[in-house]
Structure 1
Amino acid sequence: MVWFSLFFTLGVWYLQQQAALPVLPAYWPIAAALLLLPRQNGRLLVIARHAALLIGAALLGFCYAAWIAQHRLSDQLSAEWQGKNIVLTGIVAEMPRLHERGLRFQFDVESVQTVGAHVPRHIQLATYDGDSKEPLKMSAGQRWQLTVRLKQPHGSSNPYNFDFEAWALERNIRAIGYVYARGDNKMLSEQTSSPAYLVQRLRETIRTHFRKTLSDAPYTGVLTALAIGDQSGISQSDWQLFTRTGVNHLMSISGLHITMLAGLVFAAVYWLWRRSIRLTLWFPARKAAALAGILAALFYTLVSGFEVPAQRTLYMLVTIGLMLMLSRNVSPSQLLAYALMVVLLADPWAVLSPGFWLSFGAVALIFYVTANRLRRQHWLREYGKVQWAMMIGLIPPLLALFQQLSLVSPLANAFAIPLVSFIVVPLTLLGTLPPFEWMLYVAHEAMTLCMYLLHLLDKLPYVVWSQHAPPAWTILAGIGGALWLLSPRGFPMRWLGSLLLLPMFLVAPERPAAGGARLVVFDVGQGLSVAVQTHAHALLYDTGPDFSGEADSGNRILLPALRGMGILHLDTLVLSHDDVDHIGGTESVLSGIPVTNVISSLPDTHPKLQLAAHNEACFDGQSWEWDGVRFEMLSPAKLQTPLYPQHDNERSCILRISTGRHSVLLAGDAERLAESRLTRLHPQELRTTFLLVPHHGSKSSSSPAFVDAVHPRYAMFTAGYLNRFGHPKDEVVERYRAAGSEILRSDEDGAVDIRMDARDFRIERYRTTHARYWQQNRINSGAAEP
């Protein structure tokens, strides 16, 4: 069973790496034939049959995942209805959550009134308060008639980043959009009788109860997250603390909390049940306790919102509980194998989640260091051994998934796990009941103590280790080394395992050779950011947009990507001009990675520059050379005159990067006056291999004279998917196409990776090199944003 489940998992994982779904009828018979081979005598025949079974298991996993994916993808929003008004009726499927301008919630569609429109059954919507006189007030379970504008799920596509489209597919969200404020939006009924919606209504009641009881207490959001899974009340600074100290897994309804609650209920029921002879004779105490534990885990998972990570834990616990109730005596490895199969049958996309690998890896490590060991130890020593195993054994997956490690995580988890799991969570759950609301104050005080200790750890000089993304072979070697290092006492030369861990740290990504450069134009939506790397230096041009109060391109896209690329220090940060879609992530970048120098057209007193160690103005004539690569600033003029416009776009820092006969021109948001100045003063420098088209392809830029002067081989537009500005404009795109340029777009191609030197110039489109079957690559007219 163990090997069968592992190969089944391999087949599911392989399917999720495909650019297109396979044609299934040809594969099902092969899988069936391999799995149903008759038993044979003879050693070689037995080996061959086992090999066929494993191949059949992998093929079965591949086919099953493809079948589920085809079924889910069949319900989608058609391209022609993107951005158009659609009137529909349905139910608010979850507790609405606050965002910076309104509410965000999932919606179950019951009927569509707009003739000819098909809307998927499950969608995600947002409201925007500023668009209507009276903000819509919604609650879970209410039936509404809404006028909406939708689009297909589409996220940014960058290396080492979160895949929103895969996330939406896993949760069966087949369209996203917003409520059109000027439509005929009205509530049809207050609530429905469906149990699923009643649970959501209960969650909303608990959240209101918490906010009323604790008011503005600093960690109300944390307790709310621990009770019902709503993390919207946790501040970005608190999340950063949890991540740096390695306890972020505790601050949501994690598998650990569900397991702890189920274990506590199991122990309590088992202890009480055994004291009744009648009950024990009627139903064994162990089985009654297992049933009670499963029900407790189910209730907690439902109240938490039935999120996918919690579902995985529930499936694992149900599997364990069923084994106990069926009186099956199975080994820990078989138990884990059964749970693995159940999770993947329920959710084939689980293999794409870091939580899947970390949760199963952590459980496997606990079994590895505790099960089948000859000598039992004191519980405190056992706990220390498990913490040591977590620290060593999770190094490979953490470096592979996040490229960073918390160095204080073992110490932080040593006190945070018992404090949060055994004190904060039980008291918080009891505090949901009105007679015991006073327990919320005790839980908050315990959480305050935990936060105080975490802040003390965070002040230590070395808290987090950050590095490049290790090559795949070093991860496999590191896993082997960790298992060797954690092997039982008496295993020969356990210390050699540490040597197998070293390649993950020592084998760095290949840097450009002297005279060469690598540029990555990130897909940040409606905005701009470009990383430039030479042999020994790195530069970042702009930092993309600010998405909300605490989420921006810097912390969501740029820092993970730069870390994965091996860029842990920026020699220069260029901020082209004062537009939020170009400098929105600046504070996150400056606080998250060392930056030697900032060059910008911003005034010295600008708030974005307050974290900069050193800054200077960009101006025409500014130049430098790194490792044989030349950098030249072509605009703005050093001295502004009354005749020269002061508009931010026209003052963009325009940077030319050249490696001999190949060059890249980063034009910011330059408009026609700046373009005219460039064609007049720099006619020779303008001709380029790759142009980052100014101002995202708007009508106010890319004049015919400028396009003729630049005459790029590649012209790239950075624009958000179906953005409200309509960028890039069709006539501008055609102007570059008529000039013979190959057109690239961040909304179609994702991030673009450029490698150039004196002889060669190569580009890679991330949505092409990392294509997946769930991605939406079609660009259609219309807008789906307010």
Structure 2
Amino acid sequence: MKLKVRAVHGQLNDGGFDSQRYAIAQHQPLTGRFLQASVIEPNCSLRAQYLASLQTTLQPYPWNAVILGLGMGERLSVPKEIKNIMRDTGTAHLMAISGLHIAFAALLAAGLIRSGQIFLPGRWIHWQIPLIGGICCAAFYAWLTGMQPPALRTVVALATWGMLKLSGRQWSGWDVWICCLAAILLMDPVAILSQSLWLSAAAVAALIFWYQWFPCPEWQLPPVLRAVVSLIHLQLGITLLLMPMQIVIFHGISLTSFIANLFAIPLVTFITVPLILAAMVVHFSGPLILEQGLKSLPEGWINIVECWQWLSFSPWFLLVVW
């Protein structure tokens, strides 16, 4: 490719968006245009092929852009109206592939690996395996979504937390927070210019501070109501403590963000994202494999002759003997 490039320039208007700072934080300090280009290798990368396949599959659905944004971090095709709604309600952070998505993917992978250990002999069961497996799956998911700077920072923080867990020492929440932030800045020094990094770091620090000084009341409530109270307590703390930074960065706050996030975060975290991740895994293997598995279910029927039907009562006798 023959390009004509120039450095990104920012404007000094007070309160305006600093495009130069954002470009450097995203490792994109240059802009330009094509003068000449020729194809060297016609084949795309595996990620690009998978993304193109997803886009083709989701094309008939009206919310395909939002699904791609939640699953792959591709937000360019999201309509401006939806972006404005998310910005005004304070839920735009859900569209970025960062801590929420990648940590949940790591948690799901670790849970599946831990469940699989039930079928292994005791000498083969180690608590480190689900931890390492979850971090590896999180790194793979971050690569699949393009390894954008927020995703890269999340993987670095997860790897740092995993090494702290493997060390065998007792680390406080503040120790883990400082070590993760130091590892991120050591890996990516220009991340210090990223507003998303400081918002994420401030959010984690706010939660640690909130639960230290104002823990959730331990009322005797039904499990469902207790979960609702815990969610309201968490959202109230992060809304109040992040308010100063939001005003400094965005020059305003959303009056509806508390209510919107109160409903959006649980729905997106525990319903939407798991379903999208499951769909992405099924898309990896292909729907035909699942279809063949469903077609083979009727073959599981076994005809039993009358002389052997008495064996169906054997569980009753075995339970009595036991």
Compute the displacement of 1:376 (Å).
5.2
Over the matched positions of the two proteins, sequence identity in percent amounts to 28
Q: 1:202 to 1:430 in 2, by over 3 A?
A: farther
Compute the displacement of 1:274 (Å).
4.8
1:210 and 1:220 in contact (8 A); partners too:
no
2:117 and 2:125 in contact (8 A); partners too:
no
- Alignment correspondent of 1:320: 161
Question: 3-state DSSP class of the match of 1:394?
Answer: helix
- Alignment correspondent of 1:294: 135
1:339 to 171, 180, 187: 180
Tell me how large the CA RMSD over aligned residues is.
Answer: 2.4
2:18 to 129, 138, 163: 163
- Alignment correspondent of 1:353: 194
| C-alpha distance in 2 between matches for 1:179 and 1:406 | 40
- 1:285-434 to structure 2, matched below 5 A, reads 285=127, 287-370=128-211, 378-432=226-280, 433-434=282-283
Q: 1:408 to 1:436 in 2, by over 3 A?
A: farther
- Alignment correspondent of 1:262: 106
Question: 3-state DSSP class of the match of 2:40?
Answer: strand
1:190 aligns with 2:42: yes
- Alignment correspondent of 1:686: none
| C-alpha distance in 2 between matches for 1:250 and 1:148 | 35
- Alignment correspondent of 2:317: none
2:73 and 2:96 in contact (8 A); partners too:
yes
Question: 3-state DSSP class of the match of 1:189?
Answer: coil
Compute the displacement of 1:350 (Å).
2.1
2:28 to 135, 156, 173: 173
| C-alpha distance in 2 between matches for 1:202 and 1:412 | 37
| C-alpha distance in 1 between matches for 2:218 and 2:133 | 28
- Alignment correspondent of 2:298: none
Q: In proportion to residue count, which structure has more strand?
A: 1
Compute the displacement of 1:371 (Å).
5.4
| C-alpha distance in 2 between matches for 1:202 and 1:427 | 23
Q: 1:330 to 1:177 in 2, by over 3 A?
A: same
Q: Deviations over 1:318-374 (max 9, x none)?
A: 111111222221011101111011011112222322211211121122223335959
Q: 1:169 to 1:316 in 2, by over 3 A?
A: same
| C-alpha distance in 2 between matches for 1:399 and 1:298 | 33
| C-alpha distance in 2 between matches for 1:242 and 1:175 | 29
1:153 and 1:176 in contact (8 A); partners too:
yes
Residue type at the aligned position of 1:297: A
- Alignment correspondent of 1:237: 81
Question: 3-state DSSP class of the match of 1:149?
Answer: strand
TM-score (norm 2): 0.78
Residue type at the aligned position of 2:126: P
Q: 1:396 to 1:174 in 2, by over 3 A?
A: closer
| C-alpha distance in 2 between matches for 1:363 and 1:248 | 18
- 1:198-209 to structure 2, matched below 5 A, reads 201-209=45-53
Q: Deviations over 1:101-149 (max 9, x none)?
A: xxxxxxxxxxxxxxxxxxxxxxxxxxxxxxxxxxxxxxxxxxxxx2322
Question: 3-state DSSP class of the match of 2:9?
Answer: coil
Compute the displacement of 1:404 (Å).
1.7
Q: 1:290 to 1:418 in 2, by over 3 A?
A: same
Question: 3-state DSSP class of the match of 1:288?
Answer: helix
| C-alpha distance in 2 between matches for 1:312 and 1:148 | 30
1:220 and 1:233 in contact (8 A); partners too:
no
Compute the displacement of 1:249 (Å).
0.4
Compute the displacement of 1:295 (Å).
0.9
1:211 to 50, 55, 61: 55
Question: 3-state DSSP class of the match of 1:177?
Answer: strand
Q: Deviations over 1:616-669 (max 9, x none)?
A: xxxxxxxxxxxxxxxxxxxxxxxxxxxxxxxxxxxxxxxxxxxxxxxxxxxxxx
| C-alpha distance in 2 between matches for 1:269 and 1:293 | 8
Unmatched 5+ stretches in structure 2: 220-225, 289-322
Q: 1:289 to 1:351 in 2, by over 3 A?
A: same
1:251 aligns with 2:106: no
1:284 aligns with 2:132: no
2:25 and 2:192 in contact (8 A); partners too:
no
Unmatched 5+ stretches in structure 1: 1-145, 192-197, 439-786
- 1:60-139 to structure 2, matched below 5 A, reads none
Residue type at the aligned position of 1:410: F
2:10 and 2:21 in contact (8 A); partners too:
no
Compute the displacement of 1:381 (Å).
2.3
TM-score (norm 1): 0.34
Larger-gyration structure (1/2): 1
| C-alpha distance in 1 between matches for 2:24 and 2:162 | 30
Higher RCO structure, 1 or 2 (CA under 8 Å, sep 6+): 2
2:20 and 2:29 in contact (8 A); partners too:
no
Residue type at the aligned position of 1:246: G
2:102 and 2:141 in contact (8 A); partners too:
yes
Compute the displacement of 1:173 (Å).
3.2
| C-alpha distance in 1 between matches for 2:249 and 2:268 | 25
| C-alpha distance in 1 between matches for 2:170 and 2:10 | 46
Residue type at the aligned position of 1:417: I
- Alignment correspondent of 1:42: none
Q: Deviations over 1:140-167 (max 9, x none)?
A: xxxxxx2322222324442223322233
- Alignment correspondent of 1:220: 64
Compute the displacement of 1:218 (Å).
2.7
- 1:445-594 to structure 2, matched below 5 A, reads none
Paired residues, number: 279
Q: Deviations over 1:764-785 (max 9, x none)?
A: xxxxxxxxxxxxxxxxxxxxxx
1:430 and 1:437 in contact (8 A); partners too:
no
1:228 and 1:303 in contact (8 A); partners too:
yes
Q: In proportion to residue count, which structure has more helix?
A: 2
1:266 and 1:289 in contact (8 A); partners too:
yes
| C-alpha distance in 1 between matches for 2:238 and 2:286 | 36
| C-alpha distance in 2 between matches for 1:431 and 1:260 | 15
- Alignment correspondent of 1:533: none
Q: 1:245 to 1:318 in 2, by over 3 A?
A: same
2:25 and 2:194 in contact (8 A); partners too:
no
1:431 and 1:437 in contact (8 A); partners too:
no
| C-alpha distance in 2 between matches for 1:381 and 1:215 | 40
1:170 and 1:347 in contact (8 A); partners too:
no
Compute the displacement of 1:237 (Å).
0.7
| C-alpha distance in 2 between matches for 1:352 and 1:206 | 32
